[in-house]
A and B are shown apart, each in its own frame.
Chain A
Amino acid sequence: MSGVSGNPQLAIFFGSQTGNAEELAEKTAKMSKGMGFVPVIHDMDGFNPAQFAEYKRVLIITSTWGEGEMPDNAEGLWMATNETNPPLAGVSFSVCAIGDTSYDEFCKAGIDWDQKFAQLGATRVHDIQLCDVDYEPVWKSWADSVLPIMQTVDGGEYDESTAAPSDAVVDDTSSTTQVNSEGASEALNAVFGGDRSINILFGSQTGNAAGLAEKTAKLAANYGLQPTVVDMDGFDPAKLATMKRVMIITSTWGEGEMPDNADAMWNAINANGPALASVHYSVCAIGDTSYDEFCKAGHDWNDKLAALGGKQAHPIQECDVDFEPPWKVWVEEALPLLACVDDSGTLQVELLDEMKAYGAGDEVEAVDGDFAPATVVVDELSITLRLFRYDPVAASSGFDTVSCALPGHASLQDLLEAIQGDLDGSLAFRRGDGCGTPTTAIRANGRIVLADVARLDGLVNEGGTLLIEPLPGLPVVRDLVVDTSRLERKRSEAKPWMRADPRSGERLSNGSTMGTMNSAEATSLHSRFDAVSDLAAHGMSDTTPFDDTYVGPGVLTRLWQRASDPRCGEEQRRELMKTLQDDGGMWSETDLSSISRQGEDGRLISEAMLDARGRLLHEFRFAGRAGRQVKWYGRTVKLSGKLNETTLYRQVLGPLGLVSNIFSGVSARMVLGFTRTGGPPIRSLQALLLPPAGVGKIPNMFNSKVADHHEVVSLFNELDQRF
């Protein structure tokens, strides 16, 4: 920490309405680290003005809000400071104020702080910097000037135990930052001091290892670590010697080889390997057991680091193609272990349990004050649950009955997790992330819902009963888990992706086409097809369990959306319309009402399908039985105001269809309907003149017109002259 006199702490306070001042505070902190400071960023909100005096060096970065007012997060501190007027002798400060010269009270909040600090006895080491809307260059100039000045300010003696806790964790590029460790033991707190860096190197061919490295970095913060994700490509292995904590996540390529991005580093470390005596490490290797050299690259790294003197904190983790679960097991063990490596490079293994508990979520939560979360009080529901179970081994299914009680705002997923955790660990269901995960679609009391967001109080019947079944229309794998492969296969066969060429539109400078759409069109397109889950849509239809060839409403509405997209190429549009018209397409849905009754999403999907049908009728000129049905239904209603079923049957089924009804017994059953209803066999004069019309349940050949039938004709002529 050369260049800084005494205690290296530098307190940076921000007053920010829209996040700009906060962002500048973070940037200032980052700059200061490189100069040897230990920056501590403070959100002004909730800060006690009596603690200002604990800092020798203070920077204030603030915007001005409205007509010269403090930003919201600074209001409280400003008022408290003016009420208590804490003495600030011994504090050196400077202010950077962001504002807008189009306002009269330009940068007033910053000016107020500057004057207040001076009034309270603090030493202004640099004049206030006033920044207009283009604040970045001006701020930079101020930071470049004030930080060297602050280096010369005597920070006094540095005592960690009396250091003020930071309210915000500083940027992750530094290793020397204080970590909020309230509630941790003294020993654990000691580990949190000093260098908390951890480097996560990845060797990745297809991106999987890189993705895991990013996830690992996110989890590292839970243990007070400052992670850096490192692509092995171009990385100098000599730098490993300076690192205390290293994780390597790598796949294996081909026949036991390094992934491409790790090749150079592997060759370099073999040519001239550094001594890694101070490095604690662990390796996670991704591979495929169908290959002989399973996870070889990972093992090579593991062996190499050990050979160079590195200390293996946790054994290598091998992961097969389903790598996520074993990775998770590894990261939950290896990360806390590496987090127990202190600033001197010693692994404090006795602190492992405490470190795990700390990382599991000992965060300080706001329980009081303006920003404390409100307590949600919802009555507990007593539920009698009937839960579908299917055992694929025994090939048997049935229902479990469970009595339970949960708060009404709990989700269906919460209920299933409670049952799985407390009653039956073998219960299988798909989990979501609590944001409406499409794959959690399930049927609860007849409604198709997404389990991770559906609230119990919206599902449970008046009598407290809840029936949970898997999504209909797809084979059940186990319990509530369905096999979606058939749906996915139909989706990929339908080719729903955009094929934009050849089509007209704007072109990029490289010549490729780029579609154009105005915002109103885009909004309309998105809002019409905003249903959450294609899988849930598939389950909404009462037809899908009975028709294997039917693509399903989920996929069909996506195809229709694509066909409605003006950026879609004409050739693709024609193909899509043909797919929609053909067998398995739009007309395979036997009853849209089974979809439309399923809430907002159901209504959206059924309306989209109606739109599609209307378009299909137009483009294909009422072809096929479906088209004839619509055409003749409309015509007969226009003719008399009533539907003429006889005409409809004749026109839709055609002579062959009518004959088949005779042989199948339908016609006979209708003629003999009077034997079932007890009514007269002859219902009208038409039965005598034009049998079998009017006999039994056979409808009349001709309908009398409704009164003032011309009004009906007028409506038809005005709205749709195709009839």
Chain B
Amino acid sequence: MEIEDCIQPLCKSLGITLVEIPKATSDGGNIIRQASTRLQHALAARNLALAEQKGLDIMTSCATSHSIHCDTATTMAADAVLAAQLNNLIARSSGIEYMGESKSRHLLHVLVEDIGLDKINAAVVNPLDMNIAGYYGPYMQQDGFCSEDDAFNPHYLEDLITALGGTPVEYESKCQSVGAPSLLTNEKIAMKMTAAVLSDAKQSGAELMVSACTISHANLDSYQVKAGKMTGKDTKMPVVHLAELVAFAFGHFPDRLAQLITRVKVIGG
């Protein structure tokens, strides 16, 4: 919900026009894929085809969603037979086909590559004077899915944090999974994994964590207390989404930014 609130004003500040796709669906979350790979590919291909109909790329603020759409696009490009079968299906159901023109872009990559750090820096109204750890997660960090960033040693979030006036904090587990897909089915292990990432970032000096993945954000924020209790690690740290961080730095929701700063500097969680 906070992403919904923040992404519109953030894009407005940068001159990005967001075009909604009312017919777009869930991409399957890599959960449906476990039962039927084809069904998930069909859902993602349909979303891509809908964007293609408008002559646009998809922009998503969720690393998982981005990787699912990238995976479908790559799979269809590599397998003409499957692509034809999927297109046949979505043509019958929706009257459209995906021809491979539209791509999925993550908000982070759009900001760093298309907008540019200089322009972002120039748009900053409230510099984020904090030690901030960026969390990527594993979904987006695959060769071919992370645009020009390095899959295993990414730096886009750190560059963006610097451009927003913050101090990026390096820590080892920034691409490590927090077990988000198995939060409901294997909670104990997911909590251990969540605690490991949070405590690593905190021990490395982070006061705030920014997440590029919406699904992982839920683990890192809503479940951080439970994760800390179960593991005995210090997991108390404010966690925000990328869209929130950028929107706050651009001067939107100053009250929320003030609240965040209080949490960071005073409350610590």
Q: A720 touching B153 by the CB < 8 A rule?
A: no
A461-B150 in contact (CB<8A) = yes
Task: Report, as a range, how many residues of chain A touch the other chain.
Answer: 35 or more
Docked pose: A599 CA to B152 CA in angstroms: 11
Q: Is the CB of B153 within 8 A of A461?
A: yes
A-B contact count, CB below 8 Å? 191
Q: For residue B166, give the distance in angstroms from its CB to the closest CB of chain A.
A: 18
B138→A677 contact, CB < 8 A: no
Please determine whether B34 and A665 come into contact, CB atoms closer than 8 angstroms. Answer: no
B56 contacts the other chain (CB 8 A): no
Given known A634-B35, A669-B225, contact A588–B25 (CB-CB < 8 A): no
Contacts of B139 in A (CB 8 A): 593
A666-B1 in contact given A677-B244, A706-B24, A718-B89 (Cβ < 8 Å)? no
**Interface positions of B from 58 to 100, Cβ below 8 Å from A:** 64, 67, 89-90, 92-94
Chain B residues with CB under 8 Å of A588's CB are: 186, 189
Query: Is B180 interfacial (CB 8 A cutoff)?
Result: yes
Q: In the complex where A614-B36, A641-B25, A676-B263 touch, is A715 in contact with B93 (Cβ < 8 A)?
A: yes
What's the nearest-Cβ distance from chain A to residue B230, in Å?
9
Min Cβ gap A389→B in Å is 16
CB interface residues, A 652-680, toward B, < 8 Å:
652-653, 657, 664-666, 669-670, 673, 676-679
CA distance A669 to B221 in the complex (A): 9
Q: A591-B177, A666-B223 are in contact. Are A649 and B184 (CB under 8 A)?
A: yes
In the complex, are the beta carbons of B226 and A666 less than 8 A apart? Answer: yes
- A637 proximal to B (CB < 8 A): yes
In the complex, are the beta carbons of B255 and A714 less than 8 A apart? no
Interface-facing stretch out of B8-16, B39-47, B116-124: B39-47
Q: Quick one: given A590-B177, A591-B181, A629-B31, are A679 and B193 in contact (CB under 8 Å)?
A: no
Cβ 8 A contact of B255, one of A543, A594, A678: A678
CB within 8 A of B179: which of A591, A624, A657, A720?
A591
In the complex the two chains form, is A697's CB within 8 Å of B153's CB? no
Do A617 and B43 touch across chains, with their CB atoms under 8 A apart? no
In the docked arrangement, what's the CA distance between A237 and B152, Å?
Answer: 65
Contacts A630-B35, A642-B26 given: A590-B181 contact, CB under 8 Å? yes
Interface status of A350 (Cβ within 8 A of chain B): no
Report whether B184 and A652 are in contact in the complex, using a CB–CB cutoff of 8 Å. Answer: yes
B240-258 vs A, CB cutoff 8 Å, 1 = contact: the mask equals 0000100000000101100
How many positions in chain B have a CB within 8 Å of any CB in the partner chain?
A: 69
Most buried by B among A587, A641, A719, A722: A719
**Cross-chain contact B141 with A706 (CB below 8 angstroms):** no
Question: Chain B residues with Cβ under 8 A from A653's Cβ?
Answer: 184
Task: Verify if B101 is at the interface (C-beta below 8 Å from A).
Answer: no
Q: Say yes or no: A597 contacts B94, CB within 8 Å.
A: no
What residues on A are CB-neighbors of B179 within 8 Å? 542-543, 590-591
> Once the chains are docked, how many angstroms separate the CA of A587 from the CA of B255?
43
Closest to B31 in A: A633
Chain B's closest residue to A649 (CB) is: B184
Report which of B29, B92, B94, B141 forms a contact with A633, defined as CB distance below 8 A.
B29
The answer to whether B229 has its CB under 8 Å from any CB of chain A is yes
**Does B203 have its Cβ within 8 Å of any Cβ on chain A?**
no
A720 to B89 Cα, complex, angstroms: 12
Are A591 and B89 neighbours in the complex by a CB distance under 8 Å?
A: no
Residues 550-574 of chain A, each 1 if its beta carbon lies under 8 Å from chain B, else 0 = 1000000000000000000000000
Provide the bound-state CA to CA distance between A631 and B26, in Å: 15
Bitwise, B1-32 to A at CB < 8 A (1) or not (0) is 11001000000000000000011111011111
A679–B1 touching, CB < 8 Å = yes
Bound CA span A461–B150, Å:
8
Dominant secondary structure of chain A at its interface with chain B: helix
Nearest to B139 among chain A residues (CB) is A593
Q: Does A666 contact B222, Cβ atoms closer than 8 Å?
A: yes
B195 closest partner in A (C-beta): A546
Question: Which among A542, A587, A610, A679 has the greatest number of chain B C-beta atoms within 10 A?
Answer: A542
Q: Given that A590-B193, A634-B35 are known contacts, is A678 also in contact with B253, CB under 8 Å in the complex?
A: yes
A677 B1 Cβ-Cβ under 8 A: yes
A715 near B28: Cβ-Cβ < 8 Å: no
A546 close to B34 (CB less than 8 A): no
Nearest Cβ on chain B to A238's Cβ, whole angstroms: 67
Residues from chain B with a CB closer than 8 A to the CB of A670 are 222
Known contacts A707-B22, A712-B25, A719-B89; can you find 15 more A-B pairs with CB under 8 A?
A447-B152, A550-B189, A587-B186, A592-B30, A614-B34, A633-B29, A641-B23, A641-B26, A648-B184, A657-B184, A708-B94, A711-B23, A719-B39, A719-B42, A720-B36
Closest 4 pairs between A and B when the two form their complex, measured CB to CB = A678-B256, A446-B152, A590-B179, A590-B182
**What are 27 inter-chain pairs, A to B, with CB distance below 8 A?**
A461-B150, A462-B150, A465-B153, A547-B192, A589-B182, A590-B179, A590-B181, A590-B186, A591-B182, A593-B67, A593-B137, A593-B142, A597-B138, A626-B185, A629-B184, A633-B29, A637-B25, A637-B43, A670-B222, A678-B259, A679-B256, A697-B222, A711-B46, A711-B94, A714-B93, A718-B92, A719-B39
Chain B residues engaging chain A, CB cutoff 8 angstroms: 1-2, 5, 22-26, 28-39, 42-43, 46, 64, 67, 89-90, 92-94, 137-139, 141-143, 150-153, 175-177, 179-182, 184-186, 189-190, 192-193, 196, 221-223, 225-226, 229, 238, 244, 253, 255-256, 259-260, 263
- Which residue numbers of A lie inside 8 Å of B, CB to CB? 445-447, 461-462, 465, 542-543, 546-547, 550, 587-594, 596-597, 599, 610, 613-614, 617, 624-626, 629-631, 633-634, 637, 641-643, 648-649, 652-653, 657, 664-666, 669-670, 673, 676-679, 683, 697, 706-708, 711-712, 714-716, 718-720, 722-723
